[in-house]
Amino acid sequence: MAGTDLDRALLGEDLTSKVTLQNVASLSPVQLAVVAARDDLERQVQNRACTAFLRKKAVFDAAGGTEDPSQDGDFLNRAALRFRQLATEYQAGRPITQVPSPLSSPSRDHPSSPTSFTRPQVGGSGRTFAADSCSFSWGDELARTIGPVEVKLEEDELVIAFKNQPLFNILASKLCFFLYLEGESQGEHEEMTLQLEADDALMGGTTRLGPHFNLRLFLGKTPRDALSTLTAAVETWRQRFGFLVSNLPATPTPSEGFAHIPPSPVNITFEYSLNTTHPSVPDPAVGHATPASGAQVERNAGGTARSQAIPAHLLQPLKDASGPFRYLSPSPAPPGWTAGFWVRLFAILRAVCPQAGLCYPNFTLSEIKLLSRRTDIGKLPELPDKPCPSERNHSPVDRLGLEQIYRARNKLTVNQSRNVLLTADYPDLRAYAHTMGKIVDARNVFLNACDYILRQDSAIKHLDSPCKLSKKHLDVVCELRESEV
């Protein structure tokens, strides 16, 4: 493969220059690509550079491209998967090996290899259908929305493409949660929104996003045969990999391409908290009211939703409880530390500013139940204050969750926290702390979302834009923001 001016410019890039969040916006597309793959930089800097890189690409594609090879488009399409090996081999004085084009079909030696994790072109094998838009976030990044996109079902992965170019590739084995939200039905078409969470995903064919990747797909009016193929594929993945599937729609006979496995009846609790005074807030994305206290939504044979009370025995502490449930008391948890409290707050934000594309932390049924009860401090173990031999760092969010568990008993030292979070001595307590930490995550995401909405409105206040919020709505967001500081 002959070298180009772009390749030579790439070889001269400094791979050791200091890059911070503040100067990412000033980088060129070539520099953004380099920064996105530098392991020596903070993860947030890499993510910001990768997002800016893809945004510049989308702007270039929307403008219709350019004939000048020194501009963004040709580089973005050809060199994104080549720069790291070319630059490192050149600067190390080694001969440059031939690297296949990102548009060719690479070998798939191992699913954890970035070069073998490249997405196939849309329109190949498998089923492909359109989505009006998708909203995505990962780690500490705020949600972003892009569209329209194409959704492709492969044998063991879900592929999202934008303008026939790779956007996300999600292995079925990395899925944690898959939620269907049905809308209106019209003849042979049905509106559907999909929400999923994964432990890992690949962006742009090269950048791994790590855990807490959230994706929401707005399919719009989609043919029922495409939806049936989707549900059959997801059910096949669920049985193979064991992730949670919620609110499964009624599924007609699927088209060819995936073996149909009849789904078992699924009941899904969106959120609840016990003995709270907070009202239920309708979710505009779902189209029906969200249950407030001990309410649960299930699908009947016709695929419509109905509300049903959760049996009282399911809300009572389990006798001979095992796992994290052994630390619970019969008393309800404080409202601010329940999953339902935060889901309702996010529902308010979505109602006030639906164009923000919020992605909030998801809670499983087990986590909802675990968080609905107050901790029994008499059941908590005494923790040793000995130095922890592990050299790994603990999760600060999990530590905050653990400190909340012990808050009414005693203040924990760093060594006590590390003995729980970094050793195998307290697996149930560590799981409890991780679940409690999701409330901390939810609060952080909520505050960032409020700030984002207020910043966006301030940026367009001088424009005649339909996205501007009324003063009443802004006051609501400000009050919610201040109440949680």
Beta bridge partners of 134: 146, 217
Chain region(s) in the chain for CATH 2.30.29.30: 114-264
What does the pLDDT read at residue 375? 92
**Would you say domain 114-264 falls under CATH 2.30.29.30?**
yes
Q: pTM, whole model, 2 decimals?
A: 0.39
Q: Are 169 and 150 in contact (CB under 8 A)?
A: no
* Angle between helices 471-483 and 339-352 in degrees, nearest 10: 160
Per-residue pLDDT of the chain in tens (485 residues, 90 and over written 9): 455 665 666 666 777 788 888 788 888 877 887 888 777 787 778 878 877 877 777 666 666 655 444 444 444 444 544 555 555 555 554 443 333 333 333 333 333 333 333 333 333 344 788 888 888 887 766 667 787 888 888 888 899 988 888 788 999 888 887 877 766 666 777 777 788 888 888 887 777 887 778 888 888 777 878 888 888 888 888 888 887 776 555 444 333 333 333 333 333 333 333 333 333 333 333 333 333 333 333 333 333 333 334 444 444 444 556 788 989 998 899 888 998 888 888 888 877 776 665 666 778 888 888 999 999 988 999 999 888 776 677 888 889 999 999 988 888 998 898 888 888 888 889 889 989 988 988 888 888 888 877 776 665 554 444 456 677 777 888 888 777 65
Question: Based on the number of CB atoms within 10 Å of its own CB, is 36 exposed (0-12), middle (13-18) or buried (19 or more)?
Answer: buried
What does the pLDDT read at residue 402? 93
Question: Based on the number of CB atoms within 10 Å of its own CB, is 31 exposed (0-12), middle (13-18) or buried (19 or more)?
Answer: buried
Amino acid making up residue 458: S
Please give the Cα distance from 107 to 104 (Å, whole number).
10
- Nearest Cα residue to 393 out of 419, 418, 420: 418
